[in-house]
Each structure stands twice: as structure tokens, then as C-alpha cells.
Amino acid sequence: MRVVTTILKKNELHNSDNYKDDLDVTVNDMIAAYARILTDYYKNVSGEQYSKFVVLRGVDTVTNVFNHMIYYTRNLALALSYSEKAYLFYIEFISQISDAEKLFLRLSSRDATMYVFNKTIADIKFLMNPPSEESNNKINLFNKTANVLKTLIMKFDNEDTFNNEVKLIIEHGLTDHAIRLIDSVYYKTGTNALFNEIIIWILSNQSKINETNNVCYDELDNLEQIIHLVSA
């Protein structure tokens, strides 16, 4: 497991030059950066005996740091750097909890989140100019996609598959139908491998899915049902 060895420069968030007026990157740039952070975080915690709750709280913690940095600094490089430090600080904190204290790990993971926030985004200048309408639109679209990536990372099978899913999202975007299907099958697949097989198919066939009306998502249990539905 990696530990935090780099000290964040305290003047980075006090330096107005690090705050941009607008986001000068694309939504896909943000998606790719965020996906990289999620992958690195998950690879660092996957070999440890942490509960799903604790792993997910780490995802939420890193996501909040990334979102705050994007919204207030509009600086993707800074967001990427601080998000990496965020997951390292989080893992460092929870790894120091003793076996006896693991009974209270949910509370301790909340403490870990506050520890991360104090170490990363506490010094953000919240009174800088709000983002423009164009930047806000980018942020809103990114957040919609980030919610799906959070779902996918919790069903992580292997890095190549996750990267392929991210690539398909970047190439084709995400329709509302695809998002609802992903949510529907999340709790209905027995293995991560099966879940990701279904996700790859959904992301590759969004145009067909989008043409299908009156979908009862809650009744779709497997890939065969979905394929039959959109091929009918």
C-alpha cells in the first residue's frame, strides 16, 4: 500500500494564479482524469479487508475533493493532484485503525473523510467568481457521468474492462436510458464479471436502447432479456 510522502504546497490554494476564470478543458478530459483517480484508488484498497461501505465512502470522499477543486479552481491539473492526495490520505487514515476499532469503522471512516478534507480542500478560496454558464454546463454533464462511474467502480472486475467502459462513455456519451439500465442491473447480477459484460453491451448499443420505448427496467435481470427487448 502506498503512503503519502509528498506534502501539498500550502500556497497552492492561496495563490490566485491557480484559480481559472473558466474550465478550459472538455467534459471528456474531466471524465478521463476522474476515472484514472477512481482506478488508482480502487487498486490501492482492493487487496485490503475493508468493507464495501468503507470503500464507497472513500469513493465519495475523493469525488467531493475532485468536484470542489473543479468548481472553485476550474483547474483540472490541480483537481487531479489533490484528488490523488485525497485517496492516499484516506487510505493512510483507515489503515491505521486497529482490529478492535474496526467495530466502529463506519464512524472512523467519517473521521477519515474529515481528515482528508482538512488536508486538501480546507484552504480553497470559496469567494472566487462563480463559474460561467458554459463551465457550469460542463460540470453538470460531468457529474451525471461521474455518478455512473462510481457505480461501475464498485463492480470493478479488472482494469482493462473498466478502461474499456470509460472509453465507450467518452466516445458515445450516456443516454438516460443507458443510465437507468445500469442502475437496474446493478443489484441483479451475481458476479462483477457478469455485470461488466452487461455494461459493455449497454454502452455499445445505446442507440438501439434509446429507440426502445416503455422499458420496464426493474424487470430486466440479465443480458439476454435486454438484448431480446431492444431487438424485438
Summarised one tens digit per residue, pLDDT across range 99-116 is 555 555 555 778 889 999
pLDDT band at 95 (very low <50, low <70, confident <90, very high): confident
Question: With pLDDT > 90 as the criterion, what percentage of the chain qualifies?
Answer: 49
Output the DSSP codes for the chain. Answer: -----SPPPTTTTT-GGG--SS--S-HHHHHHHHHHHHHHHHHHHTTS---HHHHHHHHHHHHHHHHHHHHHH--HHHHHHHHHHHHHHHHHHHHT--TGGGGGHHHHHHHHHHHHHHHTTTT--TTSPPPPHHHHHHHHHHHHHHHHHHHHHTT---HHHHHHHHHHHHHH---HHHHHHHHHHHTT-SSHHHHHHHHHHHHHTHHHHHT--S--GGG--SHHHHHHHHH-
Summarised one tens digit per residue, pLDDT across range 21-64 is: 999 999 999 999 999 999 999 999 987 778 888 899 999 999 99
Its pTM stands at 0.84
Domain regions of the chain by residue span? 11-154, 157-232
More confident residue, 228 or 194: 194
- Average pLDDT estimate for 139-165: 94
- Average pLDDT in the chain: 83
Q: State which of 3-12, 180-189, 219-228 shows the largest mean pLDDT.
A: 180-189
Please report the pLDDT score of residue 191 as a whole number: 85
